[in-house]
Amino acid sequence: MVNLRNFLFFLSIILLFVYVFNFTPQVPMFDQWALVPLFQDASLGNLWAQHNVHRMIIPNVIYLSLAKTSHWDLRWETITSLIFFVILMLLIYGAFARQNNNNLASWLFALAVLTQLTPVHHENLLWGWQLQLTLCALMVFIAISRRSILALFVASFSFFTGLLGWMVCLFIFMRTKASKMPFIIMALIIFAVYFYGLNLNDGGLGNLWQVPAYFSIYMGANFIITYKIGVLLTPLLWLTGVWGLLFTLLGINLVKKTWRMDVQKTVIPYSMMLFGVMNAAATSIGRIDFGLPLALLSRYHIFQMFYFLGVIWLAILYWQENNRLQKYSRAVTALFIALIVLNWVGGVAFGIAKVRRLAPVIREIKTKAENISDETARIVYHDPIVLRERIKILKQKKYNLFRD
């Protein structure tokens, strides 16, 4: 007999592959155009060069390999990113299942994971440039669950957030009273290499008073589909922020109540929660110049998702410890099913909207190439002059929209 949980995971994964294959934009979007110069000069210096504060040498190698193989069919990037994401979600569920063989507990956590195996992360799934985020998140979780220094190395040179993984793993070593000196030495070496020559003045700190609001919105928008929605934007920001604050406090309260439980049972969810909080704080400081609505975009929610799943993991442990699992199971099941439905419906709607919005852009680039209008150019990149030069490169190499 087919295990229903396994079937639901399989079905969600298949549907996500269909979703990504059909809704991946044919045209590069915003930061994705930064890859084009690498097609002409893929020197080590250019691969190593910072993007904002990121050292993305490992993703850059992957991007170039996929582009050369496919003439930059962007679906190759998004499918690869999806593979990283699927592996991440299965590893998270597997880590919980190995620790907890209670059938009801496994079902509840499986449903929590299934809320994320949806288009709730539609920007990460449909924008190939986000591959560095899914790779980073995957490597950080491997490091958390397996104490892997190699995974942290890959995470660090995939996205800036990977550096936070070293701090989280240091917490694990301290919490489990394991030997940490070799780990600390390696961390110092990686940080020294990473920051050598790095320009930290790439952008300002903007309105610091917005940081608490930004943080709360991030913490509230990491498990349900959100977007900048016209006249409803302001109330949505308020609702998301208030919920984010309450959810953060819920997590802190659970940590307080479970702190004396078996360390081996709680160290992974604690670490996931810490990683999520640190990311929300770092992103709140680093992105406030873009305005509060940016926090509703799903681009960085894959990192705050760690907090959501960590809290659910911890809540299940606490309910089991106090014989309350059965009491809360129906309400939690109903909530997760509702989230799964909302995330799929919303994600598909965003996918359709993205295809329709970009269709005229794709037609104009195909027919006019570097002679596209400024208005059209700004839909996919902020600088029309730079964009035209990069379209010319793609046309010469017969890449992307110009591939044979």
Summarize pLDDT for 174-193 with one digit per residue, the tens.
999 888 898 999 999 999 99
At residue 1, the pLDDT reads 45
pLDDT value, residue 288: 76
HEC readout, the chain? CCCHHHHHHHHHHHHHHHHHHHHCCCCCCHHHHHHHHHHHCCCHHHHHCCECCECCHHHHHHHHHHHHHHCCCHHHHHHHHHHHHHHHHHHHHHHHHHHCCCHHHHHHHHHHHHHHCCHHHHHHHHCHHHHHHHHHHHHHHHHHHHCCHHHHHHHHCCCCCHHHHHHHHHHHHHHHCCCCHHHHHHHHHHHHHHHCCCCCCCCCCCCHHHHHHHHHHHHHCCCCCCCCCHHHHHHHHHHHHHHHHHHHHHHHHHHHHHCCCCHHHHHHHHHHHHHHHHHHHHHHHHCHHHCHHHHHCHHHHHHHHHHHHHHHHHHHHHHHHCCCHHHHHHHHHHHHHHHHHHHHHHHHHHHHHHHHHHHHHHHHHHHHHHHCCHHHHHHHCCCHHHHHHHHHHHHHHCCHHHCC
Domain with 219, as residue range(s), is 4-402
- Per-residue pLDDT at 399: 96
Question: Under a CB-based contact definition with an 8 Å cutoff, are residues 383 and 390 in contact?
Answer: no
Residue 353 to residues 253, 346, 348, 377, Cα–Cα distance (Å)? 40, 10, 9, 18
Q: How far apart are CA 305 and CA 74, in angstroms?
A: 25
**Are 275 and 172 within 8 A, CB to CB?**
no
Do 351 and 127 contact (CB within 8 A), yes or no? no
| pLDDT reported for residue 229 | 67
User: pTM for this structure?
Assistant: 0.95
302 vs 93: CA distance, rounded Å: 15
Planar angle of CA 283, 16, 104, nearest 5 degrees? 85
CA 158/CA 66 separation, integer angstroms = 16
Q: Is residue 235 within 8 Å of 321, Cβ to Cβ? A: no
Q: How far apart are CA 379 and CA 134, in angstroms?
A: 25
Q: Please, how many CA atoms are within 13 Å of residue 246, restricted to the half-sphere of its CB? A: 7
- Please list the ranges in the chain whose pLDDT falls under 70: 1-2, 201-207, 228-231
Contact 54, 282 (CB under 8 A): no
pLDDT of residue 103: 93
Q: Residues 298-344: pLDDT tens digits? A: 888 899 999 999 999 999 999 999 999 999 999 999 999 999 999 99
Number of structural domains found in the chain: 1
Output the pLDDT for position 224.
87
Whole-number CA gyration radius for the chain: 21
